[in-house]
Structure 1
Amino acid sequence: MNRYRILGRIGDGAYGSVVLAIKLDSGEKVAIKKMKRKCHSWEEAMNLREVKSLKKLSHQNVVKLKEVIRENETLFFVFEHMKENLYQLVKERYERGEKSLPEPALKEIVIQILQGLAYMHKHGFFHRDLKPENVLCNGTEMVKLGDFGLAREIRSRPPFTDYVSTRWYRAPEVLLHSTNYNSAIDMWAVGCMIPELYTFRPLFPGSSEIDQLFKVCALLGTPTESQWPDGYQLASKMHFKFPQFNNSSLNQLLIQASPEAVKLVNLLLQWNPARRPSAQQALK
């Protein structure tokens, strides 16, 4: 760590704190994540989920892990520094009195998120914790996926932990405690984030898992059993009954969005994960 000078604190995550630092020999700014859990060996460090995923991924829309430092059993991850996250970018605009992101800038952001996801999914990973706070940006023209504490290799076997991703962006199959979900959960999260970029409000701000499902039903309408048989099976295991709602149109919510954008959001927010487009398909 003596090759870096700490400039200040950026934030705290569930797994550790992040500081802004400067590399002394090059003057380059970096973000250094200090992990909370102690790490007793290099082997243990190299097996951490975040290290494994980021060491394998190299793409212009995925944040770069520059190095891993282990000092006195504490692990530090050195990342390229990005100015802010998508949540902060939206919040700044909102506080300036803007009502929405202009569609060209919004499209640029979404394309870059999808490119990062298409690359990750192709290489056998899904993110599992996609939300505006984990999309890092330097303005709208440079966007990268970050914070891979929860990233998981698609090849690793279910059952997966059922507690992932901030509730508001969580796919219905995860809310219903499915343990064999796949990369379609990332696509649902994108479907939740796009409307937020238009309205500056979260689409489904549920206060609990049940409230979350309730809010999704209220907007998308209740799924039928033929639409999503697996969902009904999961729900009955949990003794959950889908509340009855008709579909209320996304068009009314996304008045300022182009028909193509509304169509994409409708496709991404399919109850049945098998019906959601892949990141590659969504880019088309």
Structure 2
Amino acid sequence: MNRYEMLERVGDGAFGEVSRARSLKTHEIVAVKKIKALFPTWEECLQLRELKSLRVLRHENIVLLKEVIRDKEELYFVFEYMQTSLFRVMRNFKCHEGSSSGAEMSSGSEPSTSSWTSTPPYPWFSEAQVRSIMYQLFSGLAYMHKHGYFHRDIKPENLLCHDDTLKIADLGQAREIRSRPPFTDYVATRWYRAPELLLRSTTYNSPIDMWACGCIMVELLICTPLFPGTSEADQFYRICKVLGTPTKETWPEAGAMASHMQPSNLCKTYFNTTQADA
């Protein structure tokens, strides 16, 4: 790592910490992710899911892996540097403060269609800005799915932005679509988790990414999280309250999956109560 000067730490996750750095040769600003685990051999490095997927996925809306460095037993990923995340942009637009209401959005002048990564003059996104964001997200995700991978943790924090360009990042949870179940049942962040994940399904696939995208799109439009559940059971309740409760005809496996919810079986209770009342 003597080719880079570490400038500042910008993030820390379950699998590694990310720092802003400068190339001593080209002076280019990059993002360096230091993996927390140690890797005695290159063969072990090459087995990392994130590395496997990043070597395959090259798209303008997927963050670019520029270099992989193994220094002794420590592993570093060198990425292109992105200015911010969609989460921070949304926070600037006050989407996570509940500052907008339907009445507020429908009154007054139309929001600007200018840069959505700059400080906004309005507390919500314009329709044109939402189209720009979602087009880029869907483009990157379509490429990912077409090339055999699904992300499993689409959320605003994992969507990086720079000069109104959006890129999907943090592929540490990505799996091959052709992989055989069972998959890990606890993936994705709660507010963006598909119903089958809330019921701990282990046979899910790429549609869970599309569910997360839908939640993000609505959040951009209404400037508040669509399903801000406080627990898995509450999350499932909020979804059913809006979309209706699945039945044995529409989703036969749901009841059986709900019965395994622990410790309180609240999802199962809600399932039985609402279907009995129908």
* Normalised-by-shorter TM-score class: 0.7 to 0.9
For residues 126-174 of structure 1, the C-alpha deviation after alignment (integer angstroms, 9 at most, x for no partner) is: 00000000011114x3111000110011122110011101111111101
SS at match of 1:229: coil
Unaligned runs of 5+ in 2: 98-119
Partner of 2:209: 186
Partner of 1:135: 159
- In structure 1, give the amino acid aligned to 2:77: F
SS at match of 1:69: strand
Partners of 1:221 and 1:181 lie apart in 2 by: 21
Partner of 1:91: 91
Displacement of 1:225 in angstroms is 2.3
Partner of 1:196: 219
Residue pair 1:130, 1:165 contacting (<8 A) in 2 also: yes
Match of 1:111 among 113, 135, 147: 135
Partners of 2:12 and 2:91 lie apart in 1 by: 18
Displacement of 1:97 in angstroms is 7.0
For residues 230-277 of structure 1, the C-alpha deviation after alignment (integer angstroms, 9 at most, x for no partner) is: 22332244452445679xxxxxxxxxxxxxxxxxxxxxxxxxxxxxxx
Unaligned runs of 5+ in 1: 247-284
* TM-score calculated relative to the size of structure 1: 0.82
Shifted more, 185-194 versus 23-32: the winner is 23-32
SS at match of 2:191: helix
Partner of 1:59: 59
The alignment of Structure 1 onto Structure 2 pairs a total of residues equal to 245
Displacement of 1:8 in angstroms is 0.9
Displacement of 1:122 in angstroms is 0.6
Partner of 1:265: none
Partner of 2:103: none
Partners of 1:33 and 1:21 lie apart in 2 by: 10
Partners of 1:157 and 1:62 lie apart in 2 by: 25
Partner of 2:117: none
- In structure 1, give the amino acid aligned to 2:257: L
Displacement of 1:199 in angstroms is 2.4
Q: How does 1:1-284 map to 2 (within 5 A)?
A: 1-94=1-94, 98-139=122-163, 141-238=164-261, 240-243=268-271
Residue pair 1:99, 1:199 contacting (<8 A) in 2 also: no
Taking only the aligned residue pairs, the percentage that are identical comes to 53
RMSD value, Cα: 1.8
SS at match of 2:22: strand
- In structure 1, give the amino acid aligned to 2:122: E
SS at match of 1:100: coil
Partners of 2:65 and 2:270 lie apart in 1 by: 42
Displacement of 1:7 in angstroms is 1.4
Which of these two proteins has the greater Rg computed from alpha carbons?
2
For residues 78-99 of structure 1, the C-alpha deviation after alignment (integer angstroms, 9 at most, x for no partner) is: 1111111100011112286733
